[in-house]
Chains A and B, each alone.
Chain A
Amino acid sequence: MVGPLIPMGVIPQAWDNVFAVLLGMGFGISLEASGFSSSRKIIGTFFGYDFVVLKVFFTAAITALLGLLYFSYLGWVDYSMLYIQPTFVTSAIVGGIVMGIGFSMGGYCPGTSFCALAIGKLDALVFTIGMLIGIFIFSEAFPIVEKMYNSGSLGPKLVSDSLGMSASLFAFLLVVIAVGMFYGATWVERKVKKVDY
């Protein structure tokens, strides 16, 4: 049962969309139950009154990262079959900055806005409408940004390779950094005045 199971043909391709719905449900439940359906809870990370985003986000990334590395080490998953997002340095930075400004204005990112929308938050509905308009504007204006969109292409590059270390050493360092951040965040949370929301 070497994964990824659907691309390897262990599970037929026809099941792909069924898994999409089931995994999506797991994603939605995890986000909502952690409190990602509240913009004021999410934004608390930047003011120090609630670090739930920092804690959930980094715990999740590390869990999946370590899990997949172990599966690969044990021969249970073929790492080369996993989709590695290709790197376009310029557009990753510029796009990230634009998203960061949007994040601080709207209090959601796309995934969390869907969760908030699902439990009845009308601000999340408006945020989602904003996304539709934004993507439409981007698509129509694409010829203007096309050059930047494609510049700085490095292909599916691994962060550990670009830092010249092994994947496992990088993962170890990331865990150390994350645990340090969790301690720091909890310390700040205790000092900062509580915000009622």
Chain B
Amino acid sequence: MDNKLKSGKFYLNPYMGGVCLGLVLMATFYFTGRGLGASGAVKSTVVAAVNAVSPEHAVKSHYYGKFVSEGQHPMNTWLVFEVIGVLAGAFLSGLFFNRLKFKVEHSPKITINRRLLFALGGGLLFGIGSQLAKGCTSGAALSGMAVLSLAGFITMMAIFGTAFIFAWVFKKNWI
């Protein structure tokens, strides 16, 4: 274990990690009445940017209009604070387990540029999909499942089912 810890390859037992994550999720519902999320913070960033460039466009838009309200900055949302915590927590964990390093992780069969291009495309689609489904793997699927939301189970099956098929389409990128 010492060697693994030094080389940054030590990970929690997956069931142990799952119980930790589950307890954090449960605590989130117990304290705040809501679940965890991630994509919502990115949405707030986009809303804030558009609002800063053209407040008129933000208020008039059918979509941004839902998220801008008088007297409150668009970045002042629960999820933005939560994501600040996520970044800090992941950083601390990476520090503890010796994983802090600037790098592009990719299969040896593909170039860095190809990896980054696919990462950009993947992020773009995830951005679009998370807005349609009103949440991502955390906010819609995981948090939804924790409180038996039908939407959570539908979104989870759609994400993982589709990803399973398309992972094989893009197999060369991974293995």
Contact = CB atoms under 8 A, between A and B. Distances in A.
Interface of A: 3-7, 11, 16-17, 19-35, 37-41, 43, 46-47, 49, 51-52, 55-65, 67-68, 71, 77, 79, 81-89, 91-124, 126-140, 142-143, 145-146, 148-149, 154, 156-160, 162, 167, 170-171, 182, 195, 197
A60 B101 CA distance: 28
A176 to B, nearest CB: 16
B14 A59 contact: yes
A146 B62 CA distance: 9
Given A85-B151, A95-B134, A104-B169, A119 B119 contact: no
Q: Which of A67, A83, A104, A156 has the most CB of B within 10 A?
A: A104
A170 to B, nearest CB: 7
Interface in B106-135: 106-107, 115-116, 118-135
Given A58-B18, A127-B126, 10 more contacts: A24-B36, A24-B82, A96-B154, A100-B161, A100-B164, A110-B38, A110-B42, A115-B93, A130-B123, A138-B131
Given A25-B86, A91-B133, A120-B100, A64 B149 contact: no
Contacts of A99: 125-126, 129-130, 133, 136-137, 155, 158-159, 162
A142 B22 CA distance: 34
Main secondary structure of the interface of B (DSSP, over half): helix
Interface residues of B, number: 121
A81 B33 contact: yes
Contact of B149 (A24, A28, A39, A85): A85
A136 B50 contact: yes
A138 to B, nearest CB: 4
Main secondary structure of the interface of A (DSSP, over half): helix
Contact of A61 (B22, B31, B155): B22
A96 B162 contact: yes
Contact of A109 (B14, B30, B38, B132): B38
B144 A25 contact: no
Contacts of A96: 129, 133, 154-159, 162
Interface string B9-53: 001101101111111111111111111111100110111001000
Contacts of B23: 63-64, 67
B123 A57 contact: no
Contacts, number: 521
Contacts of B99: 32, 37, 119
Contact of B81 (A20, A116, A156, A159): A20
Contacts of A30: 17, 20-21, 24, 89
A22 B37 CA distance: 14
Given A131-B123, A138-B128, A158 B149 contact: yes
B22 A67 contact: yes
A118 B43 CA distance: 19
Contacts of A101: 122, 125, 129, 162-163, 166
A49 to B, nearest CB: 7
Given A85-B140, A119-B91, A127 B21 contact: no
Contacts of B64: 139
A37 to B, nearest CB: 6
Contact of B150 (A83, A106, A159): A159
Given A83-B34, A91-B133, A21 B85 contact: yes
